Amino acid sequence: MNNLVSINNLVKYFDLGRGQRVHAVDNVTLDIGEQEIVGLVGESGSGKSTLGKTLLGLHDKPAGTVSFKGDQLPGKYRAADFQKYAPHMQMIFQDPYSSLNPRMTVGEIVGEGLRLHSDQSTAQVRDSVAEWLTRVGLEPDHMSRYPHEFSGGQRQRIGIARALILQPEFVVCDEPISALDVSVQAQVINLLDELKHSLGLTLLFIAHDLSMVRYVSDRMAVMYLGSIVEVGRADEVFFTPRHPYTKILVGSNPEPDPNLERQRASTTIEGEIPSPVNIPAGCRFANRCPKVMDQCRTQTPELLPLTEVAGETAPRHVACHLYAG
């Protein structure tokens, strides 16, 4: 499989002034293959959304690189860069309520990308919008209505049509179902799954729900305090997590089957997540890790491949001293 997106030692921080910085993304390296779905999980504040936005040029890149189809993307986007890359790389946002301009009709929202990035006539844009509204399960005559006239699930379908009308190759799905009722989450996931296969999309799927990520993703990457601590095939990471943080994250994931939930030992993470302004030396998880060793407090573990994992079908990478050497 060829890589569509290659992330190398990517860093994103936000200056707070007086020499202080929020280290939102720190030294992240990750490849995403063509037509692959990589799920990205971690607690709130772990840097998942910032990573997704940085990939798309919505944040500048103070250090590290992102390549798309072998083409290194600019560290800081100018208008011409958005014009060049936006048709190929799009985002589906978390909140279908705030991400749609309430003053624009659905037709204007969904067709905006074509008006900005194509030479289609007004009639052609209108036809494309009608086609995409149908494709995401809405009606062509919805294009004259406004976002407030739709339910949350319908608004997310509008957001999906807006992102996909340009037929991008790569889409960042930033918690696309977390603001929706449970009853419509599966509908939106099934729609994304169908569109992924029919359009040959490559997705970075950001979510809290590990069961959902396991269901939709080929591989799963686990983020903690701005860094990736484990990555591997989604089902293998879910069923045989290696990093102590992944084990706790999997253990604390709600089990939809009440019988299994009752049998399962509940797992909670002790302690507070450190401040991203004052990243601790050594392993970032050391103050919460049940397996912490002396070296963990001084030496930063690298994300390295596990060499001997029987039966695994893709290399597993883990950043933990328990597996070093």
> Which residues contact ligand SF4 by CB under 6 A?
243-244, 283, 285-286, 289, 291-293, 296, 301, 320-322
Closest approach, Cβ 296 to ligand SF4, in A, equals: 3
Q: Which is nearer to ligand SF4, 212 or 296 (CB)?
A: 296
CB of 297 to ligand SF4, least distance (A): 8
Angle at CA of residue 236, ends 235 and 240, nearest 5°:
120
Least distance CB 302 / ligand SF4 (angstroms): 10
Q: Select 61 or 243, whichever has its Cβ closest to ligand SF4.
A: 243
Please say which residue, 116 or 281, places its beta carbon nearer to ligand SF4.
Answer: 281
114/289 with CB nearer ligand SF4: 289
Max Cα-Cα span within the chain? 67
d(CA 65, CA 245): 27
Q: Which residues of 266-287 are buried (b: 16+ CB within 10 A; e: fewer)?
A: eeebeeebbebeebeebbbbbb
CB of 282 to ligand SF4, least distance (A): 7
Cβ neighbors of 79 (< 8 A, separation 6 or more) are none
Please report how close the Cβ of residue 224 comes to ligand SF4 at its closest, in angstroms.
9
- 219, 233 Cβ separation under 8 angstroms: yes
Q: What share of the chain is helix, strand, coil (3-state, %, to 5)?
A: 35, 20, 40
Coil, helix or strand at residue 305: strand
- Which token pair is 41? 């999980």
Secondary element (H or E) of residue 204: strand 202-206
Nearer to ligand SF4, 186 or 322 (CB): 322
How many Å from the N-terminal Cα to the C-terminal Cα in the chain? 29
Whole-number minimum distance, CB 293 to ligand SF4, in Å?
Answer: 6
**CB of 220 or CB of 283, closer to ligand SF4:** 283
